[in-house]
């Protein structure tokens, strides 16, 4: 049973129970500045779990695509992937444990046909000191489910000490394992925060595989053991309590939040703990074997195969959601994924472009479930080819330099890692990984110290350059520099607030402005940007400068780079185009010279709009 059929069976099962199906949200969360990526199935649902009414009702289900950047270093074992899908169903103050637990047992054992003798569950131990009792209701409900098919069971009160025995099925853990709240264990929850017990479901791949013995762990095996014998396939969260100043009280509206790992469920149905053997990886594995001449089943190759497979799949989905490789924010992780994949492809003997071919396999595999992949195929392939061509040159030079340093010194120090970064553009993470393969560890503190020195030198160099350039205060450069502020805001008005300045270059004849944006501007967009800039010029807006703290600048909505450039300054210059009487068009932190009024600028015209680098566009313009 492949994952596309599992996904459909799950959604149809809960639709039959009165649930409305939701489409997957994007991998980049909307209106959530606290995190870069959608990392769990419930993340888009938080507002509704906290009380906001959902337009589709109180019973909802979906399959949500997710990406967890923190798992990049973990990829390579049987079960870790950075991209995955979470099956989810929710009750927003409707049904509760009495319905959820029997439904999950029915879905897993009857709809999917998982062997119930290989299913194990965990429940919450309780904390009487906080006024939260043991989750006896869930224990009884699970007992009833197993008993209904003739399975007698024992409840294990101390799994970590006692481990798993023949009739054990239900395991009791404390709040570190079986409690959910946004802020962690009950003691750390603020007053007013909701939370509750959860009940996780595990599949047992079997003691006969010898995974626990092979892991070298000396403690008894239990469902939450790290040996790989058991895999968590789903978690039923029961949002039951609210923290008060006196302890915990029952919520008047109790919610259910279920999350199940689609790929993990598929691995359980395969009865194989290697998640990379599920159907969605088959085409990509075949293509990698064809390109490399190596076999996935060879223990010497399996790590490289898994890293390449996971990272290219994740990058494919991220680019489809308009995240392109870059050195900042979301794009940094796409670049990091691809560079690790390329390096491991090289370890497999692939010395020419291959990431686009593997991505093509994933697009074909998922295009029915996620049509956006097919719609964005050309963009995905274009970005992968460009990034791979760029990095292969860096990789070859960096690896040669790494080997030369290591052969000479017998180690790689923090200063060496910075040299590889600064001179060869070699990412620190790859240097650390290569050093680890040699039994070494990079001193990050030394690397960061060297990095700070480099920034200080660069800043001093920029100040000298500034004095020799814009500080000449010529009329032409002043007018053009002022125009970049208006252009910056006009681009944000037309394209969106994701637009940020990524650099500029001004001569006495023209301005060049680089900004973040994933795609070419249409003719209509360019015309609208020109129109807005010229409108502000014709409005004869005053341009004023105020000194204030960075915090005050932010509170006023000033745009600008708030990072290292200004962190040590007590006051910064904020230039405002317009005022409260005629309307403020833009506010921006800047140190350069400016005109006094927009009327001084003349007529603004865009000469050219083009790509500068991945995810960065460039405009060249003049004032006439």
CATH of the domain at 560: 3.30.980.10
Lowest mean pLDDT among 88-97, 179-188, 311-320, 435-444: 179-188
Same domain, 154 and 236: yes
Same domain, 40 and 124: yes
For residue 405, tell me if it sits in a domain.
no
Same domain, 241 and 299: no
Residue-averaged pLDDT of the chain = 88
Reduced to 3 states, what is the DSSP secondary structure of residue 266?
Answer: helix
For residue 397, tell me if it sits in a domain.
no
pLDDT reading at 204 higher than 60: yes
Q: What is the pLDDT of residues 107-161, one digit of tens each?
A: 999 999 999 999 999 999 998 888 889 999 999 999 999 999 999 898 999 999 9
CA distance 65 to 84: 6
Mean local confidence (pLDDT), 450-454:
72
Can you give the residue range of the structural domain that contains 202? Answer: 3-16+33-276
User: What pLDDT shows up at residue 570?
Assistant: 63
Local confidence band at 462 (pLDDT 50, 70, 90 cut-offs): very low
Phi, psi of 514, deg, nearest 5: -100, 140
- Any idea of the CA torsion for 556, 560, 564, 569, to the nearest 10 degrees? -50
CA distance 428 to 426: 6
Mean local confidence (pLDDT), 590-610:
86
For residue 551, tell me if it sits in a domain.
yes
461 or 172: which leads in pLDDT: 172
For residue 488, tell me if it sits in a domain.
yes
Phi, psi of 433, deg, nearest 5: -65, -45
User: What pLDDT shows up at residue 31?
Assistant: 58
Total domains in the chain come to: 4
CA distance 597 to 482: 9
CA distance 519 to 615: 7
Local confidence band at 561 (pLDDT 50, 70, 90 cut-offs): low
Lowest mean pLDDT among 223-227, 344-348, 475-479: 475-479
Q: What is the pLDDT of residues 367-390, one digit of tens each?
A: 999 999 999 999 999 999 999 998
For residue 225, tell me if it sits in a domain.
yes
For residue 375, tell me if it sits in a domain.
yes
pLDDT reading at 572 higher than 90: no
Q: What is the pLDDT of residues 435-444, one digit of tens each?
A: 988 888 888 8
Local confidence band at 255 (pLDDT 50, 70, 90 cut-offs): very high
Same domain, 456 and 574: no
User: What pLDDT shows up at residue 277?
Assistant: 96
Mean local confidence (pLDDT), 428-449:
86
Q: What is the pLDDT of residues 153-180, one digit of tens each?
A: 989 999 999 999 888 999 999 999 999 8
305 or 424: which leads in pLDDT: 305
Mean local confidence (pLDDT), 178-206:
89
Same domain, 368 and 265: no
Among 258, 261, 232, 235, smallest CA distance to 65 is for 261
């Amino acid at each position: 049973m492949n994952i596309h059929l599992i996904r459909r069976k799950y959604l149809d099962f809960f639709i039959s129970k009165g649930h409305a199906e939701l489409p997957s949200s994007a991998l980049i969360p909307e209106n959530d500045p606290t995190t870069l990526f959608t990392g769990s199935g419930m993340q888009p649902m938080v507002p509704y779990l906290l009380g906001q009414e959902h337009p589709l009702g109180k019973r909802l289900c979906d399959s949500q695509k997710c990406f967890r950047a923190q798992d990049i270093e973990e990829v390579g074992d049987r079960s870790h992937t950075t991209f995955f899908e979470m099956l989810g169903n929710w009750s927003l103050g409707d049904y509760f444990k009495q319905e959820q637990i029997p439904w999950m047992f029915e879905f897993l054992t009857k709809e999917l046909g998982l062997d119930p003798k290989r299913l194990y569950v965990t429940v919450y131990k309780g904390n009487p000191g906080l006024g939260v009792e043991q989750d006896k209701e869930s224990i009884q409900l699970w007992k009833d489910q197993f008993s209904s098919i003739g399975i007698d069971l024992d409840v294990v009160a101390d799994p970590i000490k006692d481990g798993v025995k023949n009739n054990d099925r239900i395991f009791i853990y404390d709040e570190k394992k079986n409690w959910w709240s946004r802020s962690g264990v009950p003691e750390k929850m603020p007053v007013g925060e909701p939370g509750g017990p959860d009940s996780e479901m595990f599949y047992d791949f079997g003691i006969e595989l010898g995974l626990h013995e092979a892991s070298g762990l000396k403690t008894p095996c239990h469902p939450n053991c790290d040996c790989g014998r058991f895999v968590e396939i789903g978690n039923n969260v029961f949002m039951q309590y609210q923290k008060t100043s006196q302890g915990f009280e029952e919520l008047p509206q109790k919610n259910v939040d279920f999350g199940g790992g689609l790929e993990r469920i598929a691995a359980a149905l395969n009865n194989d703990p290697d998640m990379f053997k599920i159907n969605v990886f088959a085409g990509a594995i075949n293509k990698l074997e064809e390109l490399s001449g190596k076999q996935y089943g060879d223990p010497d190759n399996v790590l490289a195969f898994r890293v390449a497979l996971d990272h290219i799949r994740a990058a494919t989905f991220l680019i489809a959601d308009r995240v392109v490789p870059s050195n900042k924010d979301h794009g940094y992780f796409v670049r990091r994924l691809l560079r690790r994949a390329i390096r491991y492809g090289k370890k497999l003997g692939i010395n020419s472009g291959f990431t686009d071919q593997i991505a093509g396999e994933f697009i074909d595999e998922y295009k029915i479930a996620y049509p956006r992949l097919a719609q964005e195929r050309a963009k995905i392939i274009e970005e992968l080819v460009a990034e791979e061509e760029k990095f292969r040159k860096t990789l070859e030079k960096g690896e040669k330099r790494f080997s030369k340093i290591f052969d000479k010194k017998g180690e790689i120090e923090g200063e060496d890692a910075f040299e590889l970064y600064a001179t060869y553009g070699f990412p620190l993470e790859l240097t650390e990984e290569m050093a680890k393969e040699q039994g070494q560890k990079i001193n990050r503190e030394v690397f960061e110290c060297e990095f700070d020195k480099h920034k200080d030198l660069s800043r001093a160099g920029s100040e000298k350059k500034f004095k020799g350039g814009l500080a000449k205060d010529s009329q032409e450069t002043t007018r053009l520099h002022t125009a970049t502020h208006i252009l910056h805001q006009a681009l944000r008005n037309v394209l969106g607030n994701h637009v940020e300045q990524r650099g500029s270059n001004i001569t006495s004849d023209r301005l060049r402005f680089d900004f973040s944006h994933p795609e070419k501007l249409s003719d209509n967009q360019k015309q609208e940007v020109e129109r807005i800039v010229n409108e502000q010029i014709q409005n004869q807006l005053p341009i004023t400068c105020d000194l204030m703290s960075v915090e005050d600048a932010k509170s006023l909505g000033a745009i600008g780079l708030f990072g290292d450039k200004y962190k040590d300054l007590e006051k910064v210059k904020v230039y405002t185009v317009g005022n409260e009487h005629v309307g403020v068009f833009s506010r921006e932190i800047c140190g350069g010279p400016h005109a006094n009024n927009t009327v001084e600028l003349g007529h603004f015209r865009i000469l050219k709009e083009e790509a500068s680098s991945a995810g960065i566009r460039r405009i060249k313009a003049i004032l006439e």
